[in-house]
Amino acid sequence: MPSFQYKAIAPNGDLLQGLMDAGSSEEVVAKLQEQGNLPVEAKPADAGGAGNLLSLFRGGGINASEITEFTQQMAILLGAGLPLDRALTLQVDLAPNERVRRLMERIRDRVRGGSSLSDALDTQGGVFDRLFVNMVRAGEVGGSLDQTLARLGDYLKRSRELKAAVVTALIYPIILLLLAGGSLILVLVYVVPKLSPIFAEMGSELPLMTQFVLALAAALRYGWWAMLAVVVGAVFWYRRAIADPVQRLAIHERWLKLPALGDLITKMETARFTRTAGTLQRNGVPLLSTLAIARNVVHNAVLAEAVEDAGKQVKTGGGLAPALSKTKRFPKLALQMITVGEETGQLDEMLLKIADAYDLQVRTTVDRLLAMLVPVLTILIAGFIALIVISMVMAILSMNDMVG
């Protein structure tokens, strides 16, 4: 009988890992569930490369938008009373492209072979993340798969909307910066150098401002490769640094201390964490397991570590609000609302309300920052153009003085 390497979260929040002899990975998952554990990973023991299955969607042939659409459609079909097999068959017919159709066929065939929907999703090579699979599994156990998928679809939709709102808001300033920057480089590289020989022939000392512009133009024209090397080197260094846990923690700490941006990052991560935790709680996932899973959707290493520390406090018998408060990383308003949720027995609802509140704050903050950024960029670009023009005019005037 083959051996399988597994990882699971125990009811007390501990991470379990080891080897188990079984006929298939589905059997390993079933045994772990019978023991009251939350399966995270089950694969042949000789398989190489563990991979981080606790990360959000990693691709695998289907994008986040298609996953959201699949989730929402399944919720509607199952809510209408259709059997799971029939709902999946309809998903095959409704697939927007061949890629998704093949994925739906694989899932349907797994279910027809006796697997649960969660197990079928779990065997698709990381297309569906741990949060997705565990929520579906909780819905199956609770007999409310359609409601679970509806909540999950709403979660995915809101997460995508927040990300899309930030990206959309950044499009205009980025385009403005690229166009203006390109225009300035064009002037410095092609226009200014044509005037340089004329100034040199005069033999007079040029104004300092003109010398600065000419030196900058020469640096861009002849030293662009060195500047490019510096940029590439900086990117390479950052990627290496961010891959090291200690350096990543230090870098993310500095990000949180930046004026305005640090507060924005904290709000974004708070919204992401509370929406994930609230959705898991609403589907009956134990609090310790909720924190273990939700920790992995927090991108900032400092805040992720704070969630992990809070989980250790909760494990000893404390409440979620006091545990998060001890980390001194999360906003006071969020902590107060979590306290109310625990006191009233409506923690899931309160976590989702916190997520909605901070989603709105993030959008408002981004809009305000961009409203300030655009005129600042415009002023800086106009000022630099004025610097070039004035420096050239000063040089021409000094030439006239010599001639006169």
> What is the reported pLDDT for 344?
93
Residue 202: per-residue pLDDT: 67
Phi, psi of 41 (to 5 degrees): -155, 140
> Environment class of residue 317 by beta-carbon count within 10 Å: exposed (0-12), middle (13-18) or buried (19+)?
exposed
**3-state DSSP call for residue 116?**
coil
For residue 149, CA distances in Å to 227, 248, 334 come to 50, 35, 26
Calculate mean pLDDT across residues 250-269.
91
Q: What is the pLDDT of residue 13?
A: 54
Distance (Å, whole) CA 138 – CA 148 = 8
Stretch 305-311: mean pLDDT: 93
Residue 58's pLDDT is what?
37
Question: Which one is predicted more confidently, 97 or 199?
Answer: 97
d(CA 76, CA 64): 19
Confidence of residue 54 (pLDDT cuts 50, 70, 90): very low
* pLDDT reported for residue 49: 39
Model pLDDT, residue 46:
58
**Bridge partners of 7?**
17, 41
Per-residue pLDDT reduced to its tens digit, 328-384 = 999 999 999 999 999 999 999 999 999 989 988 888 888 888 888 888 888 888 888
Query: 274 near 334, Cβ under 8 Å?
Result: yes
pLDDT score of 305 more than 90: yes
What sign does the CA torsion over 306, 308, 311, 315 have? negative
DSSP collapsed to 3 states, 274-305: HHHHHHHHHCCCCHHHHHHHHHHHCCCHHHHH
Rounded to whole angstroms, the Cα distance separating 297 from 273 reads 7
Mean pLDDT across 167-179: 83
With bands split at pLDDT 50, 70 and 90, how would you rate the model's confidence at 236? very high
Contacts of 327 (CB under 8 A, 6+ apart): 306, 309, 310
164 band by pLDDT with thresholds 50, 70 and 90: confident
Whether the full predicted model's pTM is greater than 0.75, yes or no, is no
Taking the CB of residue 206, how many other CB atoms lie within 10 A of it?
19
Give mean pLDDT, residues 16-43. 76
Given a cut of 70, whether residue 163 has pLDDT beyond it is yes
Q: Could you give the maximum distance between any two Cα atoms of the chain, in Å?
A: 100
Q: What is the pLDDT of residues 237-247, one digit of tens each?
A: 989 988 888 99
Instruction: Say if residue 203's pLDDT is above 70.
Output: no
Q: How much is the pLDDT for 12? A: 61
Report d(CA 113, CA 90) in Å as an integer.
Answer: 18
| 293 within 8 A of 280, measured Cβ to Cβ | yes
- The 3-state DSSP class for residue 60 equals coil
Average pLDDT, stretch 66-77?
87
